[in-house]
Amino acid sequence: MEQQRVSRLQRIVRSKAFTLFVLLAVLILGFGFLSPVIKRGAMFFHSNTLKTTLQDLSIPAFLAIGAGCLMVSGSLDFSQARVGAFGGIIVAAGIQWWGLNWGAAIIIALALSAIIGLVNAILVNELKFQPFIATMAMSSVIYSVMYLVATDRTGQIQSTINFTNEGLTKIIDWNLKIGSFELPGTVLLLLAAFVVYGLLLSKTRFGRQLYLIGGNATAARLSGIDAKKTSYFLFINCSVLSGLAGIIYTGRTRQGSLLALANDQFTGMTAAILGGISFGGGSGGMGGAFLGLLVIKTFSKGLAIINVNTYLTNVLSGALLLAALTFDYFSQRSQRKRIGI
Amino acid sequence: MDKYLEFTGIGKSYPGVKALDDISFRAEGGKVLALLGENGAGKSTLLKIMSGDQQANEGTVSLSGETLSLSSPAQAIKAGISVIYQERQLIPSMSVMENVFLGALPSKNGFIDYKKLRADTVALIEEFGLPILPETPAMFLSIAHQQMVEIMKAYRRDSAVIAFDEPTAPLTDTEISTLFRIIRELRGKGKIVIYVSHRLKEIFEITDEIVVLKDGRYVATLQTSATSEPELIAAMVGRDIGDTYANLSRNEKYGDVLLEVRGLTTDMLRSVSFNIRAGEVVGFAGLVGSGRTEVMRAIFGADAIDSGEIKFDGETVKFRAPKDAIERGVALCPEDRKEQGLVLWRSIEDNIIMPVLAKLKKGIFLDPKASEDLAINEVERYSIKTPTVDKIVAELSGGNQQKVILGRWTNKLMKTKLLILDEPTKGIDVGTKAEIYQMVCDFAKQGMAVIFISSELTEVINVADRILVMHDGEIKGDLTREEATEENVLALAMSE
Ligand SMILES: Nc1ncnc2c1ncn2[C@@H]1O[C@H](COP(=O)(O)OP(=O)(O)OP(=O)(O)O)[C@@H](O)[C@H]1O
Ligand SMILES: [Mg+2]
């Protein structure tokens, strides 16, 4: 049979990213035109909306990247939010109680995050725990350790540790001025991260290996792909990125908190799933995860602007996730049905 | 009047492919009808339509004059149609008995009646004469026994129509003769039996009528007793392929010993020793479970070795993972394509480039052009039936999936010195089989050593230069092609 080359346009239109892009456009236009109608004075189309939405994005973005890479390879990590909180606590306690400078505190926090990732990887690869169980257990362990760290000299547990440090604040709150618009530095960092990890997944050998492992780990091993090494990298990577998210949170709020990121516990994974990285592994990509995240955050931002209360917002966000999962389920099922397996 | 199943004007399209086009024929009760055609001819698609798994775009299926509505598998089963698929459908963690009676578990007071379930299953197992227990989870059975369980499952439904899609691919002679006994029994009961296989020998042995399909179209119906192999092949391929084995152009000169295995022992193998020279094609014969696959996996570094020594290319080697073996120039094309071979939901291209990702680099990135070229090259070499190389492998026909694995392990970037092919022609049509045999010989001519494993005895003894026969984890014989008659090999394979 004559082999046709695959056109780029075909690839794009068939992709999940395309669907998300449309969904995002609908949300933006919908909120944009409806917000003044629903609530007097509410303006979705405002330069501030963009800035704050982007700012809200940076923390779950790092979670989404870490989770997304793991999920592509058919694994997952439920300890993300706790690792982040832990990183934050270390930075806060380091600066405020232990007299470290902010750079050293950050390095220690990231190194500890990496160790947690390493332990996760050992639990999964050497002791053969299910990733779900291993990382859940890890999550509780971290929580207990955080209590120890957050116990001050008088023996009181501080659920938040406030600190002041100009250097760190300056870095975290740095903005890039483009005319009158200020682009937060953290947003630049997250965009860069998405680009780098996006390229890693879609264009490199390492990335391709992740998909093949996620698709069929046995076949991948028999084809000479080192799934173990990859798994170690992914768990450590995921933990370090979670730690980074926690540090940004801490820097922004100027406090380490035991409950930091608790709201974002599932945001990373949700964004990844919305973006087409399914739990089974082997599919999706960073572009999708980024769009998924934009959809989630645009949605919650829009609801906030038209003043929907927090509880209802949570319910509606849950509904959005359910809708996305249902859509995913049916599109996968129809694909399987079409193929007949 | 006997029952009959009638297809009228069946058409089925997939994006970019017309899998079936205006298919009409009739299958009668008390007869076994063969469906024959090249890979991708549409045989499995037709069975999937019968089983309600896929819906035809055009045409109707009727049973003894009554048009059937086949919009789901449940409906098809109710209408009296059972299909045994090419790919196994058992639930791995469930026991044999639960799998066999899935969908019809006997119950008492709302609970599953395990006593009856067990008794019924035992009766079936005895009827089939299998050495398995009703309680064993399906995943612990050999592939051959899983396949037999699959057949028991369809058999116990006592349907009017029963269709088999390449049932013997994973079976050895013992199970095949059991299967044929069952099929004859079904025929005796006046059932409508449809049988798909690429093995002409079986078709001549068990079927009464043959329907030939080509590229999704009906070609002819032939009476088995009134036709011949060449005639069948001509109808199917559209040309004469001649005598496959006699026409092979073989490698004549061997090089040095490339692989030397001494006293290889694992929990499945007992002190296996043999040598292979470069340029030699060595066949491994034996029954299922005789340890052929285990030897290969041990050499390839896929399984751990208890004791023994492997010398490869003049050096003692200890491959800790397949990766090490591949780097040294060993390639193993595995027998179970679904579990060990394919990444079903990835593209043909991804599946082909898997072991050579490192060689497809352009700076830090993969080179998309080079990798597409490599894939296209293999798709053309094996004439894999697909419009593009980015089609996901799950969408290919069974035989074409097998070709993708072959393409992967023999692609031109592999620097293979020892090529191990474990059941490489499983599900492959006759025309392509002949091409694969020639390729094997060509690899040998290029100086590769090739190990060829197949449950089809004729194939092993005709393609290989030398045949090692295994039984129960041991090598029982080492025969040249001249010495290796079917009787000799079988005697060794069953020796105690
Ligand atoms: N789900 C699908 N999506 C797209 N194309 C499909 C799908 N299923 C089958 N096809 C195509 O339909 C054609 C017929 O496939 P089918 O599986 O019926 O072949 P077959 O005769 O059973 O071949 P084989 O001998 O290899 O098993 C092939 O070209 C195949 O690629
Ligand atoms: Mg088929």
Q: How far is the CA of B187 from the centre of ligand 2 (A)?
A: 23
More confident residue, B296 or A44: B296
Residue A19 lies in a domain: no
Domains of chain B in sequence order: 4-237 (3.40.50.300), 257-493 (3.40.50.300)
**Interatomic CA distance for residues B139 and B353, integer angstroms:** 29
Q: Which atom of ligand 1 is nearest to the CA of B45?
A: 18
Residue A155 lies in a domain: yes
CB contact under 8 A, A221 and B394: no
**Interatomic CA distance for residues B465 and B280, integer angstroms:** 7
User: What pLDDT is attached to residue A1?
Assistant: 47
**Interatomic CA distance for residues B132 and B149, integer angstroms:** 10
Could you give the number of structural domains in chain A? Answer: 1
What is the torsion angle, in degrees rounded to the nearest 10, for the CA atoms of residue B266, residue B270, residue B276 and residue B282?
A: -100
Q: Which of B327, B346, B380 sits opposite A215 (nearest CB)?
A: B346
Chain B residues with CB inside 8 Å of A215's CB? 343-346
Residue A107 lies in a domain: yes
Q: Is B42 in the pocket of ligand 1 (CB under 6 A)?
A: yes
Q: What domain range is A238 assigned to? A: 47-261
Query: Partners of B36 in the beta sheet?
Result: B212
Which helix (H) or strand (E) segment holds residue B255: the answer is: none
Q: Is B37 in the pocket of ligand 1 (CB under 6 A)?
A: yes
Which helix (H) or strand (E) segment holds residue B235: the answer is: helix B229-237
Q: Is B385 in the pocket of ligand 1 (CB under 6 A)?
A: yes
Nearest to B194 by CA among B183, B205, B185: B183
Helix spans in chain A (H): 8-14, 16-38, 47-72, 80-96, 102-125, 131-149, 166-172, 185-203, 205-215, 217-222, 227-253, 267-274, 286-305, 310-339
Name the amino acid, one letter, at A41.
Answer: G
Nearest to B154 by CA among B117, B122, B182: B182
Q: Which of B48, B358, B389 sits opposite A205 (nearest CB)?
A: B358
ipTM of the complex: 0.84
Q: Are B203 and B34 in contact (CB under 8 A)?
A: yes
Residue A170 lies in a domain: yes
**Interatomic CA distance for residues B101 and B149, integer angstroms:** 10
Q: Are A77 and A238 in contact (CB under 8 A)?
A: yes
pTM of the prediction?
Answer: 0.86
Question: To which residue do tokens 């009228």 refer?
Answer: B8
Residue A109 lies in a domain: yes
Asked if B322 is an interface residue toward chain A (Cβ–Cβ < 8 A), one would say yes
Spell out the per-residue pLDDT of chain B, length 496, in tens: 578 999 999 999 987 788 999 999 999 999 999 999 999 999 999 999 999 989 999 999 999 989 999 998 889 999 999 999 877 788 888 999 999 998 888 888 888 888 899 999 999 999 888 889 999 998 888 888 888 898 888 888 888 999 999 988 878 778 888 899 989 999 999 999 999 999 999 999 999 999 999 999 999 999 999 999 888 888 888 777 777 788 888 888 899 999 999 999 998 899 999 999 999 999 999 887 789 999 999 999 999 999 999 999 999 999 999 999 999 999 999 988 888 999 999 999 999 999 999 999 888 899 999 999 999 999 999 989 898 898 999 989 989 999 999 999 999 999 899 999 999 998 888 888 888 999 999 999 999 999 999 888 889 999 999 999 999 999 999 999 899 888 899 889 887 6
Residue A119 lies in a domain: yes
State mean pLDDT over A60-86.
Answer: 94
Q: What percent of chain A has pLDDT over 90?
A: 44
Asked if A283 is an interface residue toward chain B (Cβ–Cβ < 8 A), one would say yes
Residue A135 lies in a domain: yes
User: What pLDDT is attached to residue A341?
Assistant: 43
CA atoms within 13 A on the CB side of B267: 2
Q: Is B19 in the pocket of ligand 1 (CB under 6 A)?
A: yes
Q: Whose CA is nearest to atom 6 of ligand 1?
A: B395
Q: How far is the CA of B139 from the centre of ligand 2 (A)?
A: 23
**Interatomic CA distance for residues B184 and B177, integer angstroms:** 10
CA distances from B70 to A176, B45, B192 (A): 63, 14, 17
Mutate to test the pocket of ligand 1, among B211, B396, B404, B436 (most ligand atoms within 8 A of CB): B396
Q: Which atom of ligand 1 is nearest to the CA of B429?
A: 25
Residue A30 lies in a domain: no
Nearest to B187 by CA among B50, B36, B2: B2
Min distance A217 CA to chain B CA atoms (Å): 9
Q: Are strands B4-14 and B58-63 parallel, antiparallel or unpaired?
A: antiparallel
